[in-house]
Amino acid sequence: MMKDIVKLGLILAAFAAAACVGLAFVNQATEAQIAVNAEKQLNESLSGLFPEAEKFVDATAELKIADPAVALEAAYLAERGGAPLGVAVKAKGQSYGGPTTVLVGVALDRRIAGVRILDGKDTPGLGANAMNPTFFVDKSKKTTFPGQFSGKALSDPFEVKNDVVAITASTITSKAITKMIKASADAASARLEAFAAAPAEAAPGGK
Amino acid sequence: MTKIFIIALLINNVVLMRFLALCSYVGMTSDVGQSVGMGFAVTFVTVLATAATWPLYNFVLLPLGLGFLQILVFILVIASLVQLVEFYLKKNVPGLYAAMGIYLPLITTNCAILAVTFENISNGYSFIESIVYAVGVSLGYLLAMVLLAGVRIRIKNSPVPKFLKGTPILFAATSLIAIAFMGFSGLVK
Amino acid sequence: MKRLWKIFKAGIIYENPLLMLMIGLCSALAVTTNVSNGVGMGLAMTFVMLFSEVIISLFRKVIPNSARMPIFIIVIAAFTTIIDLVMKAYFPELSKSMGVFIPLIVVNCIIMGRVEAFASKEKVLDCVADSLGMGLGYTWVLVGIAAFRELLGNGTLAGLQVMPASFEPILFFILPPGGFLVFALFISLNIWLKGRMQKASAKAEAKAEEVAA
């Protein structure tokens, strides 16, 4: 009887051990690629927002988001020739189906350079259409949900059904993402104020 | 936190909006009593599973860099919990144990439970938020089950068109219940 | 060889896991809002089922009966994790789009059910036929429902615009109630198909008997 239980336990343990080892292997093999994918997406998004930028300097410590429901993940200063082009803010907040991560770029003229939705957990076909590059809120102009924010002035109300077009049947998602974009943009704008206030910070010889 | 609860229970109902736990939904709703029993059993297991898996992930797997073992560990925890519930019911509530029959061990394969344990992590919920979410989702499951059980009683005595006889009519009915549930989305700003 | 073909065929219509056996529904409907997700899910699930059935069949003489459930779970969970990691690494968009449904493959009743009913008792080659048949049966239903829902609900197929620009998509089909309704219709269709195939094979048998007599 005891011998049977021990035998049972050993076989179980053997399977479990084999599984863990096998998984550790696969994990090792895929880890690097998974990390590369995330970085690639971020870099592509940043370049998409500020195509003339030469480099992106990490500026996370210099920003703060006022809205407690939106968490600042990272901030980048887009630079060209030492002069700032704008600020990109990566922030995370709760949407309908789970957390959503947005990347918002604000240019020097206090207009939104662009918005990218990096990650989200909303329903495919509904809220997840915010991330779908083929889903248009304005079919005639082929504008995607985040695309409608490009060039938008920060002084706008940023209200769904007012100056922001919602995704059909996904109002909660649309409102949540709009809130995140506004909060991130405001934080970016505050950082840009610091540039205007201290022009001496510009690179020597540059503008 | 009420927002998490309301969304889980009604607006994003686990069965009617997210298509989870359908196997037991179809299989265990022939009787209202059965549905209620199943609903509560699932609630019990889900909350326990949350209480076990959340700390396990955040305090053991993650710090040790063993995040890739999440699927394996979580499902084993759930399977063990269901075994424990089985033993307990067999000894102390044999009536319910007999009534649930094969569907008791099937709770292990209930997608909703595993989904909840996963989402507690991926949504970054705190421990309390996770418990609230778990309760919200499982009560939503209970609600959907009881609703369909009630509808099935009516269907038994109604003339069903030939091409919908059997399971199709159940899903057609569920489609209508789901439409009703979509009305709840106005509850949350 | 004929036996293998029979086992393979069974999973496609007669014993279609989704439409006939009514198992594995959980992940099935949620991923059918577009064809890419449907195909991705079908293939991922087939992968996990194939390898799980094969491993369990290989070790079926060694697995003790009283501990078989935990071992099945360990094997299925391992392959689910593998496909999850592989998709995250090489198909990141699809992986994100399918979200929690990839890990949910581990509780897919089809895999659990077939492993218990079939793989633990049959030879490896039979299991390969069975898993591929069931996987194909699962995938065709998924793709069928997804094509229907995406075409009518969004005007696209796998993201490519198919319907003319003037087509006003019927949002209902993308929404959950639409999913349930389309599924109801597919089940109905399959029942009808099965009925016809049974009639046809009964006729063929009767004819064969006549000829023999």
Predicted confidence (pLDDT) at residue C117 exceeds the cutoff of 50: yes
Is the overall model pTM greater than 0.80, yes or no? yes
A-C interface: how many C-beta pairs under 8 angstroms? 75
- Helical residues (DSSP H) of chain C, grouped into ranges: 2-10, 25-30, 35-58, 68-90, 92-98, 109-114, 124-154, 176-212
Q: Cβ contacts (< 8 Å) between B189 and chain A: which residues?
A: 175
Q: Which two tokens stand for residue A53?
A: 């930028």
Is the Cβ of A33 closer than 8 Å to some Cβ of chain C?
Answer: yes
What is the structure's pLDDT at A198? 53
Q: Which two tokens stand for residue B19?
A: 């298509």
Q: Cβ contacts (< 8 Å) between B74 and chain A: which residues?
A: none
In this complex, the residue of A23, A96, A99 whose CB is nearest that of residue B68 is A23
Predicted confidence (pLDDT) at residue C195 exceeds the cutoff of 60: yes
pLDDT digits (tens, 9 = 90+) for C23-77: 778 777 888 888 888 899 999 999 999 999 999 999 888 888 887 888 999 999 9
Q: Cβ contacts (< 8 Å) between C30 and chain A: which residues?
A: 124
Q: How many domains does chain C have?
A: 1
With bands split at pLDDT 50, 70 and 90, how would you rate the model's confidence at A199? very low
What value does the mean pLDDT of chain A take? 83
Predicted confidence (pLDDT) at residue C15 exceeds the cutoff of 70: yes
Helix-then-strand count for chain B, H and E: 8, 0
Inspect the interface and report whether the beta carbons of A99 and B123 lie closer than 8 Å.
Answer: yes
Mean pLDDT of B73-101: 86
Q: Cβ contacts (< 8 Å) between C75 and chain A: which residues?
A: 15, 19
Inspect the interface and report whether the beta carbons of B122 and A23 lie closer than 8 Å.
Answer: no
pLDDT digits (tens, 9 = 90+) for A138-171: 877 888 888 899 888 888 888 888 888 888 878 8
CB burial string C108-140: b at 16+ within 10 A, e below: bbbbbbbbeebbbebeeebbbbbbbbbbbbbbb
What value does the mean pLDDT of chain C take? 85
Its domain, for residue B158, covers 2-187
Q: How many domains does chain B have?
A: 1
- Cα separation, A56 vs A35, in Å, equals 19
What is the structure's pLDDT at B77? 92
Is the Cβ of A168 closer than 8 Å to some Cβ of chain C?
Answer: yes
In C, minimum Cα distance to A100 occurs at C96
- Cβ proximity of C12 and C137 under 8 Å: yes
Its domain, for residue C24, covers 2-212
